[in-house]
């Protein structure tokens, strides 16, 4: 219904071109015409045409995965990073095939699949129909999940992907089997972090931690784009099969998103956190060693302002000392110790007379 059920037809032209000269994609989606249709409604034409464009955009994904598998076999980390970046761009192209907003109301898809169900899946339940709209028998999702090493679940969508491989063309099954027999991108990334400290002279020893970090960022970017693509497919399911929308979104897509989120890699961060702290640190070009036995002494600040602190209190008098008395005479202040007056101006402050 998708792979061989289309042809190119340009606007204002009756002449059709061969498929060898025309590659369907989202830019020329309006030039795609469906040959055989079950219903004579525009929504059916739009639905199959969108999936033909998606299969055409998947060429970049297949090319990136093929290059990534060859780079993993040759143990070339830089080429694996480049292939993951190409894969992320390819998934972004698949997301762009889904219109936002949709060109028609949601009722058009509802009526479309009510009429298509007797032709495509007459005995299927609504849950099986929602899985068909979500993934169909296309190799795109199984290929991405297997190459990226997404953790497998036991939910219905995972079982549907496993069963849909049996109904694919022979070339698609061979390509998926080749991916299963090789190392996934996630496993390769984990091995690069675990074996980065090998003997000198090996290819892994030459890799730097910066290159491993770039590889991890590229891998996580692919997982994020895949999660966005699955979210757009879930939105399409809710428009086409609204009777099963609550079950599909709250149960199936919740588990799907959970396994995709768990596939994010934070291995490099965890490896650095678990590493022992260094005993010596290079700071400012000088070798500074941690002092674990002696404590650093505090250096007194010579420029400390004394006015910021209150003045010290005078010491208390001795318990047997005689009390001090102050008496004021004419123009002088005398200090009387024990009731006797000392000589004037001996210990005193001269005060000006009233005449002055």
- Mean pLDDT of all residues in 9-13: 56
Express as a percent the part of the chain with pLDDT over 70. Answer: 67
Give me the sign of the Cα torsion angle 172, 178, 180, 186.
negative
Q: Which residues pair with 282 in a beta bridge?
A: 287
Question: Is the pLDDT at 125 greater than 60, yes or no?
Answer: yes
| Cα–Cα distance measured from residue 224 to residue 153, given in angstroms and rounded to the nearest whole number | 18
- Mean pLDDT of all residues in 94-100: 91
Query: What local confidence, expressed as pLDDT, does residue 273 receive?
Result: 43
- Mean pLDDT of all residues in 94-120: 88
| Cα–Cα distance measured from residue 55 to residue 140, given in angstroms and rounded to the nearest whole number | 8
- Mean pLDDT of all residues in 125-137: 91
Query: What local confidence, expressed as pLDDT, does residue 105 receive?
Result: 84
- Mean pLDDT of all residues in 66-93: 94
Distance of CA 216 to the CA centre of its chain: 10
SS3 (DSSP) at 229: helix
Question: pLDDT band for position 316 (50/70/90)?
Answer: low
Over residues 286-305, the pLDDT tens digits come to: 443 444 444 444 444 444 44
SS3 (DSSP) at 189: helix
Q: Cis peptide leading into 101, omega within 30 of 0?
A: yes
Lookup result for tokens 């795609």 = 32
Output the pTM of the full model.
0.70
Highest mean pLDDT among 21-35, 36-50, 206-220: 36-50
Write down the mean pLDDT value for the chain.
Answer: 77
Question: Is the pLDDT at 331 greater than 90, yes or no?
Answer: no
SS3 (DSSP) at 2: coil
Tokens of 250: 């709250």
Query: What local confidence, expressed as pLDDT, does residue 282 receive?
Result: 44
Over residues 175-189, the pLDDT tens digits come to: 999 999 999 999 999
Lookup result for tokens 């795109």 = 140
Over residues 217-248, the pLDDT tens digits come to: 999 999 999 999 999 999 999 999 999 999 99
What is the DSSP secondary structure assignment for residue 7, as one 8-state letter?
E
How many helices (H) and strands (E) the chain has is answered by 13, 8
Over residues 339-351, the pLDDT tens digits come to: 444 444 444 444 4
- Mean pLDDT of all residues in 279-291: 43
Question: Is the pLDDT at 136 greater than 60, yes or no?
Answer: yes
């Amino acid at each position: 219904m998708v792979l061989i059920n289309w042809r190119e037809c340009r606007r204002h032209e009756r002449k059709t071109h061969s498929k060898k000269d025309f590659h369907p994609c989202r830019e020329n989606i309006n030039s795609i015409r469906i040959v055989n249709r079950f219903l004579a409604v525009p929504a059916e034409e739009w639905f199959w045409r969108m999936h033909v464009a998606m299969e055409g955009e998947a060429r970049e994904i297949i090319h990136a995965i093929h290059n990534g598998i060859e780079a993993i076999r040759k143990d070339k980390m830089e080429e694996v990073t480049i292939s993951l970046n190409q894969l992320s761009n390819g998934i972004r192209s698949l997301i762009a095939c889904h219109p936002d907003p949709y060109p028609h109301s949601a009722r058009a898809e509802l009526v479309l699949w009510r009429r298509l169900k007797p032709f495509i899946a007459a005995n299927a339940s609504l849950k099986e129909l929602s899985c068909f709209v979500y993934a169909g028998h296309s190799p795109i999702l199984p290929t991405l999940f297997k190459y990226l090493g997404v953790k497998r679940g036991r939910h219905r969508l995972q079982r549907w992907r496993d069963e849909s491989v049996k109904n694919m063309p022979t070339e698609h099954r061979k390509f998926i089997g080749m991916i299963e027999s090789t190392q996934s991108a996630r496993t390769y990334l984990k091995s690069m972090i675990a074996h980065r400290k090998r003997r000198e002279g090996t290819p892994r020893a030459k890799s730097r931690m910066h290159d491993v970090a770039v590889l991890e960022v590229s891998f996580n970017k692919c997982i994020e784009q895949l999660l966005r693509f699955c979210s757009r497919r879930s939105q399409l399911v809710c428009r086409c099969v609204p009777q099963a929308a609550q079950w599909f979104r709250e149960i199936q897509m919740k588990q799907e998103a959970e396994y995709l989120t768990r596939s994010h890699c934070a291995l490099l961060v965890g490896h650095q956190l678990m590493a022992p702290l260094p005993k010596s640190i290079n700071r400012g070009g000088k070798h500074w060693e941690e002092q674990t036995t002696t404590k650093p002494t505090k250096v007194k600040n010579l420029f400390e302002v004394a006015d910021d602190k209150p003045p010290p209190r005078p010491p208390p008098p001795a318990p047997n000392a005689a009390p001090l008395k102050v008496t004021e005479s004419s123009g002088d202040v005398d200090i009387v110790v024990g009731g006797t007056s000392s000589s004037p101006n001996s210990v005193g402050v001269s005060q000006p007379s009233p005449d002055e």
